[in-house]
Amino acid sequence: MSDPSEDLARAEAQAAAMYAGDRASQALGISITDVAPGRARATMTVTDAMVNGHGICHGGYVFLLADTAFAFACNTRGPAVVAAGADVSFLAPVRSGDELVADGLERVVRGRSGLYDVTVRSGDVVVAEFRGRSRALSS
């Protein structure tokens, strides 16, 4: 059986190393504010540059934030893990200035494949639900 404190330390170290090379997240102001084995929280403030012609945040940015939380949740247990696919449901509009919080949670891992859910909120409002499928590059 693994030591929970060692598992947490490994997850935090993996997240720090991954974030150091994550230029996309850094450029968009995405922060990883919490990480533990099988879960991660990513935050982002919507800027004017992220707003589309309808005056709301372009869905691609909401997806990107959810995908970031998914990626960090996937990469907390050792081997490098990448996305195999994902789906998103946009549930409420997001506006410039909104602070988004994406909570990613591991649902199941079988062999090299995993399933993760991410809920994106603006305050108390759920604005998107994301389901990602992962694949470890090695076992």
pLDDT of residue 139: 57
pLDDT of residue 15: 94
DSSP 44-111: EE--GGGB-TTSSB-HHHHHHHHHHHHHHHHTSSSS-EEEEEEEEEE-S---TTPEEEEEEEEEEEET
pLDDT score of 52 more than 80: yes
Q: What is the mean pLDDT of the chain?
A: 95
CATH (domain of 110): 3.10.129.10
Question: Confidence band (pLDDT; 50, 70, 90) for 25?
Answer: very high
User: Which structural domain, as residue segments, surrounds residue 70?
Assistant: 4-136
pLDDT of residue 32: 97
pLDDT of residue 115: 98
Question: Confidence band (pLDDT; 50, 70, 90) for 2?
Answer: confident
Q: How many domains does the chain have?
A: 1
Question: Confidence band (pLDDT; 50, 70, 90) for 79?
Answer: confident
> What are the residue ranges of helices labelled H in the chain?
4-20, 23-27, 59-74
What is the per-residue pLDDT across 80-126, written as a single tens digit (0 to 9) for each?
999 999 999 999 999 999 999 999 999 999 999 999 999 999 999 99
